[in-house]
Chains A and B, each alone.
Chain A
């Protein structure tokens, strides 16, 4: 465990070296919320509620959603890891007494921790800017459930991204798969629009995917909606995390045998 903490510490130090990048990244929730504000302000003209959301709830949904999405730092790591596999540099993980998955998760979560501090500040500023429009959490318990679910969701995304990177062992170039996956996940997680706006049957289908529980449900629970699904969400994500962990380990052990360690 100590070695993974050390990997995380080094990763955090690297973040400090690229402060410009981190600070610009902290503006992301501002941009997302500003654009959502412009759109929904127009859509809410003459309406008090859309899909069970008031205007304030809609804005808060985007603020919380953008915050959770920003915390996932494993997405960009796919490029680095897949590049290392393609260029033959991945061998370094094979000769070191560390698990590549452990390394990937340590770096990813260290980055998340660093981003958390900066982005939390952004959320506070946004909440202050919107004043009464920002909806405060319905209860402390809901915040806790949403936080646990978000953490499990982050682990799920990290594992999914690790698996995506591992595909480079077999296909070399994972660009297409990673970008398509990104587009689909963004929609399924409710980052584009709250999933409650979708027709009922579509919402039922969405609940079969783990993405429903990574962003939409935590943000909804924070707002006091769908609170009865909290436990279900935590259980579903735990199951998926376990499944992906197992798959990640198996895939790595299978692919490492065919890896030649020669760059292309």
Chain B
């Protein structure tokens, strides 16, 4: 590490090192390389059957057409692939490391422990999940007759990045409960339920209190809905503000809870 290296450069370098280590590790266990890919492909195919079934019985979902729904599922698939590639398997293992005391190892090293924990288990097989997602998005955009503009594409990519950050924040917030309650399997199941549902149901179906809950308090409904809404029908200034506000608030909260958790952490022997 050079003396003049900035914080960002240091993290970027660490990311590169973790990426290299992980790639060589995954190459040893070839079967595991494709695990996440096959799991998500099964989920994706089932999702398509469910949507087709729903559209056999209804014409639209609160004004959203079949192709908007295809765009929505495609967007979620891209998000899911990127999450799984980057941090999903790292964050999901945090409670076990807290419970068993393995966290000690991360805390004693001169690097950002949360950064290391989050990105040490990158999954390269998951990148391939984004391919069917991109195909679906392009297919739906063609059927919806959407003209591709630079602004539209950049806005969509920005929203995807914000949603990846939000997804990370929520995952981390849930895992910080392990500092207090040790065993939090049910919270994980609850999260799975909400993630599964946010893939199946666009946020536009929620109104009133349920909208407040799923857009602000447990913002799972934002994930694929907002980028889809932006690309297919535009996003109001108010919605942009809401998205930025929610992502900022959850990022701050996640960082705060992580620090609080670390303060109360007393290893596995306690």
Contact = CB atoms under 8 A, between A and B. Distances in A.
B189 to A, nearest CB: 6
Contacts of B61: 42-43
B183 interface: yes
Contacts of B57: 43, 50-51, 197
A173 interface: yes
B31 interface: yes
Interface in B140-194: 181-187, 189-190, 193-194
A28 B214 CA distance: 16
A117 interface: no
Given A173-B31, A176-B35, A199-B56, A187 B46 contact: yes
B54 A193 contact: yes
Contacts of B36: 176
Contacts of A226: none
B43 to A, nearest CB: 5
A128 B136 CA distance: 42
A117 to B, nearest CB: 15
A43 B184 contact: no
Contacts of B189: 25, 28
Contacts of A180: 38-39, 42
Interface in A1-55: 18, 20-25, 27-28, 31-32, 34-35, 38-39, 41-43, 47, 50-51
B201 A38 contact: yes
B201 to A, nearest CB: 5
Interface residues of B, number: 38
A197 B186 contact: no
B49 interface: yes
Contact of B201 (A39, A179, A199): A39
Q: What is the predominant secondary structure among interface residues of chain B facing chain A?
A: helix
B186 to A, nearest CB: 4
Contacts of B62: 42
Nearest to B39: A179
A166 to B, nearest CB: 17
B49 A183 contact: no
Q: Is the interface of A mostly helix, strand, loop or mixed?
A: helix
A9 B94 CA distance: 30
Contact of B184 (A21, A28, A186): A21
Q: Give the bracket for the number of chain A residues in contact with chain B.
A: 35 or more
A71 to B, nearest CB: 14
B270 interface: no
A243 interface: no
A184 interface: yes
A121 interface: no
A249 interface: no
A34 B54 contact: no
A21 B205 contact: no
B206 interface: yes
A197 B54 contact: yes
B210 A21 contact: no
A43 B58 contact: yes
Given A171-B31, A199-B53, 10 more contacts: A18-B183, A20-B181, A21-B187, A25-B185, A39-B205, A50-B58, A176-B32, A183-B46, A186-B46, A197-B57
15 contacts: A22-B186, A25-B185, A32-B193, A34-B210, A38-B205, A38-B214, A39-B201, A43-B58, A173-B29, A173-B35, A176-B38, A179-B39, A180-B39, A183-B46, A197-B56
